[in-house]
Structure 1
Amino acid sequence: MPWFPAWLRDYGTDFLRAIADRADYYEQLIPVLLDALDRSRRSAFVDIAAGGGGGWEKILQRMIPLRPDMNVTLTDIFPNREAFAKLASRFPAHVTFCAYPVDALNVPSHLRGVRTQFMSFHHFRPRAAQRLLADAVEQRSPILVVEAQERNAFNLLKFLVLSPLCVWLLTPGIRPFRWKRIFFTYFIPLIPAYLLWDGLVSVCRTYTLNEMLDLAYGADLDRSYIWEVGKAKGGLMPVSYLLGYPVERPVSPSSGG
């Protein structure tokens, strides 16, 4: 929401980045990410709705030795520039970012690569979510959508119990250190309340695998893409994903003389 305070939004995405890095949600996704690059014959990722860039630090540490040519561009409609710059400073040869707003429903054509979206697809209501996928199809960009929660009562209960506790425990270690972050976490708990609400709403809005697949087919009426859904298991918690990439168009043989 444009009216939401930018400093509070950034503190929220800072926390989500911190917990994603510590929980290492995406360890089991490395084969899927490598497969997405191989199938699309690309070496670049374009991360849309990137928030604070959560998860990429561990992903890059694992993938760079396997694909030293890889790089990622971080984008968001409300970019957390400080968080993006921090990650780019750690991986200067592999990370760039857009300091300007990038609309996930209308990604600039010069941003070429496998589009990724980690734990943000649920922010888009069905019509917008389908438009997001359609934009990738129109630009022939492979896309990987990842969610680390499911829509069920267990996850609602888990967020209700664990979200405030995790915020209180992790906040002192979040960098850069901000006294304002401390104040609004422990003295006036605005940040824990905001993140609890965000987590509960996110669970309620998370799409099932079948729903994601239906949205993909609705965005690709010409069936010009191959779409796959699945769950990657093996880490702290299973993550669900939707992967789409263009069907290779056959090359017409040249006519002989």
Structure 2
Amino acid sequence: MRLRLRLFEFEDLPWFPAIIRAGMMDYLRFMISGLGTYRPIAPLLAEGLARTGQTRVLELGAGAGGGTETVLAALQAHGQPRATITLTDLYPQPAAWADIARRTHGAIGFEPAAVNALAVPAQLAGFRAIFSAFHHFPPEAATAMLRDAVQAGTGIGVFEGAGKHWVELLLAWTVLPVAQLLLTPFFRPFRLSRLVFTYLIPLIPLCTIWDGTVSVLRMYPVDELLKLAHAADPEGHFAWQAGKKRHWWGPEVTYLVGWPAADNL
């Protein structure tokens, strides 16, 4: 699918209730973690750390931290036993993140203050990564994010947990809403509000269906990712590559990775 529509997502709206956004993020975290969505890109991320001599992944737009624990385990299995991850977001979720930090004994930490992915504070070092969120940024902002990484001299990886196919829209309308209704009672940490706004006033599942649909429609295809990278780095300070990695059970992850070119290290 090459169609890219610039529609809105509820979670992007500043007035959107934080309690509904948190419920949506809890669902995404549960599903991404349970399905191991980002395991296929662990070798790319491990290579980025190795090429830049870093051990910390600085995750931008982390949401509720979905999939981060499986990414960390996969990194450790791919030659990065000392890897750590720091979660950041423009809308921090410290309650969800603290639970992850506790389970990982601090290997996954977080920045409690809001972090703008387009202008990351200099003190937040690490190989930058953004999972399931790059499509939220229009071309100008997406280019600015990549440019900020280039100017900081750190590597960056952009990863979307889909291959941009029509079947993914069908899943967002059918199978995934049913899974959300069945699995919500098992999400942790427990929130009474999550049950209220899932079953009594179903704002969380309805907004999730809309945002999931729009996410696929807003995704950048591989060739557009490379165009954004070259616009952000016209002088070629970084080496860039983009493509798709497939899970053994079918789904794809679309990616763009870049790190300082050999002559710029």
Q: TM-score range by the shorter chain?
A: over 0.9
Kindly provide the CA deviation profile for residues 99-145 of structure 1, in whole angstroms up to 9, marking residues without a partner as x: 11000101111111110111100000111111111111111110000
Match of 1:134 in 2: 147
User: Helix, strand or coil for the counterpart of 1:102?
Assistant: coil
The alignment partner of 2:89 has SS state of: coil
Q: CA deviation at 1:250?
A: 6.4
Q: Secondary structure at the match of 2:154?
A: coil
- 2:261 paired residue number: 247
In structure 1, C-alpha distance between the alignment counterparts of 2:248 and 2:150, rounded to whole Å: 31
Cα distance, 1:29 vs structure 2: 1.6
**Partner Cα distance (2:101, 2:57) in 1:** 14
Give the distance between the partners of 2:176 and 2:80, measured in 1 at CA.
35
1:15 to 27, 47, 50: 27
Confirm or deny: 8 A CA contact 2:19 2:193 kept in the other structure. no
Distance 1:250 1:161 in 2: 48
**Percentage identity across aligned positions?**
39
3-state SS, counterpart of residue 249 of structure 1: helix
Which range moved further: 47-56 or 169-178?
169-178
- Contact kept, 8 Å, 2:99 with 2:189, in 1: the verdict is no
1:49 maps to 2:83: no
Structure 1 ranges of 4+ moved more than 4 A: none
- Number of aligned positions between the proteins: 251
Q: Work out the CA distance in 1 between the residues paired with 2:171 and 2:264.
A: 49
Counterpart amino acid of 2:21?
A: R
Counterpart position of 1:6: 18
Q: Aligned letter for 2:73?
A: Q
| Structure 1 residue 63: Cα displacement | 2.9
Q: Which runs of 5+ in 1 are unaligned?
A: 252-257
The aligned residue for residue 90 of structure 1 is 103
Q: Which residue of 1 aligns with 2:199?
A: 186
TM-superposed deviation, 1:96: 1.5
Q: CA deviation at 1:152?
A: 3.8
Q: Is the Cα contact below 8 Å between 2:20 and 2:197 reproduced in 1?
A: no
Q: Which residue of 1 aligns with 2:39?
A: 27
Could you say what secondary structure the match of 1:2 adopts? coil
**TM-score in terms of structure 1 length:** 0.93
Per the alignment, residue 224 of structure 2 pairs with 211
For 1:62-101, list aligned pairs within 5 A.
Answer: 62-64=74-76, 66-101=79-114
Q: For the residues of structure 2 that align with 1:150 and 1:249, how far apart are their CA atoms?
A: 33
Change (3 A) 1:234 1:152: closer
CA distance in 2, matches of 1:137, 1:250: 11
Q: How is 1:89-128 mapped onto 2 (pairs within 5 angstroms)?
A: 89-128=102-141
Q: 2-side partners of 1:235 and 1:51: how far apart? A: 26
**8 Å Cα contact 1:130/1:216 also seen in 2:** yes
Which deviations, in whole Å up to 9, do the C-alpha atoms of 1:137-173 show, x marking residues without a partner? 1111100000112334322222111231121022011
- The answer to whether the 8 Å contact 1:45/1:115 transfers is yes
| Aligned match of 2:211 | 198
Q: 1:24, 1:235 within 8 Å by CA — same for their partners in 2?
A: no
For the residue of structure 2 that corresponds to 1:227, the secondary structure is strand
Cα RMSD over matched residues? 1.5
8 Å CA contact retained: 1:25, 1:235: no
Taking structure 2 as the reference length, the TM-score comes to 0.90
Question: How far off is 1:64 after superposition?
Answer: 3.2
Question: Structure 1 CA distance, aligned partners of 2:106 and 2:112?
Answer: 17
Deviation for aligned residue 1:62: 3.2
